[in-house]
Amino acid sequence: MAIYTAGHLRSIRVIVTGGGTGGHTYPALTTIRTLRARLAAAGTAPDILWVGVAHGLEAGVARQEGIPFTAITTGKLRRSPNLHEWGRNLADAFRVPLGIVQAVMVLVRARPDVVFSTGGYVCVPIGIAAWVTGTPLVMHEQTLMVGLANRVLARLADRVLLSHESSVAHLPARAKLRAVVTGNPIRPEILAGDRDRALAAYHLDPRLPLVYVTGGAQGAVQVNDLIADILPGLLPRCQVLHQCGDHSFHRMRQVSAALPEHLRSRYRVVDYVHGELPDVLSAADIVVARSGAGTVAELTALGKACVFIPLIPTGGDEQRRTARHLADAGASRMLAGSDASADRLYQEIMALLGRPERRRELADAARRHGRPHASTAVAGAIIDAAGRYRS
């Protein structure tokens, strides 16, 4: 049930919490933008307060976006800690109760209609404070496995939003009844790329298949090393646009300079792809990438033929689990552990270059796993929870 006044959505007060990493922060930001757009179309606007830690990524993002921000104290529970981290766990155990008290005070002052949480340890005090004050809590899990903080909050949340169907099995029994699979919010501009713009921006040949290689914003040394080894064999069959990160940029420029002259123009290396990313993804025939939650959400929504090289280890081995889930469903290829070799990557890319029908099969299967309208579904759940609270 939405909130209506004289046929229009009424403004709602929302506390957003989530951060620590981009995987938690950017889905929250995308949801805020979608919520604002939806309410703006109804002639109103949400009253939003982002609550996080003072030096977290979320603080900087909120400041850049002009979103009011409040910091609280909290602690992090480190799984499988060493002796040093046991001491940090003990110190943080005393910070959590302080964070809960601060969170309750924030909620009492702000009187939100709903709290929206995207995960990370900062969410636990706010989630508990929502339960204490009787404020609806809507939580979202981006990854296939349910993170530790969200396993705690799932017991308290009014609505548990998930990115994957298979995540339901990882919830506490009672939380499963409140679970809805929405997908992971992605930026709408990702879906509106223009192939021709990418070809023009990077001086690419429209007659050649394009392999886009990315290790994320910071690049990935493992991925860069593998690509450097196989470029001379790949380039006679395709062109490669490689986002390598700032750390490896100088080295990959040297790799480019050492290529045979007749192949050099087929390799474009950049440290970072900025606003052109939607265009680049639109143009790519094959994507070689890590398998973080945000990357996977974007690539499946677009329906891209992908070779995933998961970062190992990650919390809960999440990247490998996600890549394995898609590979088992025929929606991607995956190289991990001893399989993540230059020879195997070369074989995988060459097989896809040689079989366009196989690329289409992977892309179609990936698209069936994608949820391009996830942010709209998440924003709708927030509005719905606020409406039930007011009614």
Three-state SS across 75-122? Answer: CCCCCCCCHHHHHHHHHHHHHHHHHHHHHHHHHHHHCCCEEEECCCCC
| pLDDT value for 81 | 52
pLDDT at 6 over 60: no
Distance CA 355, CA 196 (A): 23
* Residue 13, amino acid: R
- Rounded CA-CA distance 87/92 in Å is 9
- Paired with 306 in beta bridges are 287
Cβ(182)–Cβ(163) below 8 Å:
yes
How many other β-carbons are positioned within 10 Å of the β-carbon of residue 176? 13
The CB-side HSE value for 68 (13 A sphere, CA atoms) comes to: 9
Q: Which CATH number fits domain 4-186+372-390: 2.30.110.10, 1.10.1040.10, 3.40.50.1820, 3.40.50.2000?
A: 3.40.50.2000
| Per-residue pLDDT tens over the stretch 99-120 | 999 999 999 999 999 999 999 8
Residue 224 has pLDDT above 80, yes or no: yes
| Residue of 200, 171, 199, 166 lying closest to 181 (CA atoms) | 166
* pLDDT number for residue 121: 87
pLDDT at 258 over 60: yes
Helix (H) or strand (E) run with residue 58 in it: helix 57-65
Q: Where are the domains of the chain?
A: 4-186+372-390, 189-369
Would you state the pLDDT for residue 4? 42
Average pLDDT over residues 366-372: 97
Q: How many CB atoms lie within 10 A of CB 28?
A: 29
Residue type, 375: S
Percent of the chain with pLDDT over 90: 80
Question: Please, what is the average pLDDT of the chain?
Answer: 91
**Are 241 and 195 spatial neighbours (Cβ–Cβ below 8 Å)?**
no
Give the model confidence (pLDDT) of 142-181 as tens digits. Answer: 999 898 889 999 999 999 999 999 999 999 999 999 999 9
Q: Which residue has the tokens 């329906």?
A: 303
Angle at 72 between CA 14 and CA 389, to 5 degrees: 25
- Rounded to whole angstroms, the Cα distance separating 391 from 208 reads 58
**Coil/strand/helix, residue 364:** helix
CA distance 301 to 278: 12
Q: Would you say the pTM of this structure is higher than 0.85?
A: yes
Task: Indicate if 189-369 has the same CATH topology as 4-186+372-390.
Answer: yes
Question: CA-CA distance, 123 to 78, in Å (whole number)?
Answer: 15
How far, in Å, CA of 110 to CA of 371, rounded? 33
CATH top class, domain 189-369? alpha beta
Average pLDDT over residues 204-221: 91
| CA–CA dist 20, 143 (Å, integer) | 15
pLDDT for residue 3 is more than 60: no
pLDDT for res 89: 55
pLDDT at 92: 62
pLDDT tens digits for 300-355? 999 999 999 999 876 678 999 999 999 999 999 999 988 999 999 999 999 999 99
